[in-house]
Amino acid sequence: MSAAPLLILASASPRRRELLAQLGVSFTVVTALVTEHEDPATDPRVMVAHNAALKADWVAGRHPEALVLGADTTVFLEGAALNKPADAAEAREMLRRLSGRTHTVFTGLALRCLSDGLRIDDGESSEVTFKSFRDDVIEAYLSRVHTLDKAGGYGIQDHPDLIIERYQGSLSNIIGLPLETTKQILTRGGLLR
């Protein structure tokens, strides 16, 4: 590669856009028109790796000269994935299940460049412990935060004082794009030095 390749983020997530911008790289966004695998019984590491690769492969197929970054995040609690809630009732139920418990947040990453044959897959996990709370806290949280586009029905960056006790690992992973791991794969892909 003589000139730096175009980087495309294969994600509609505004949080991923904001996080990727923190790395100081220029990029464009192309949303992958794919149906993600969201079976809650699937191993979460397998699910997020599959979905990240699905998004990256779809966009890379249409932009073969570009570096394409796909990502997918889910929340995992007691043997089941908690993906994006379908509606407010499901978001309430997810928050009730998470109350007073520790869960794991998994993100899968996939970097592709078809013209170079580049395929890098990686991932990250972090743990989040929720405070114990009642329904009035759930209602207060739902009145302040749009939860339907967030795995587990919450965003750690949105009013954490209401629901979060503590977390371990990468905060950016919990938000949706683990920056250290992303930086490493972009370096391996030749975009960063």
What does each C-alpha distance from 100 to 27, 44, 152, 168, 175 come to in angstroms? 39, 21, 14, 16, 20
Q: Could you list the active site residues?
A: 72
The tally of CA atoms less than 13 A away on the side-chain side of residue 151 is 29
Q: Are 94 and 153 in contact (CB under 8 A)?
A: yes
Residue 158 has φ and ψ, to the nearest 5°, of -105, 110
Q: Are 154 and 82 in contact (CB under 8 A)?
A: no
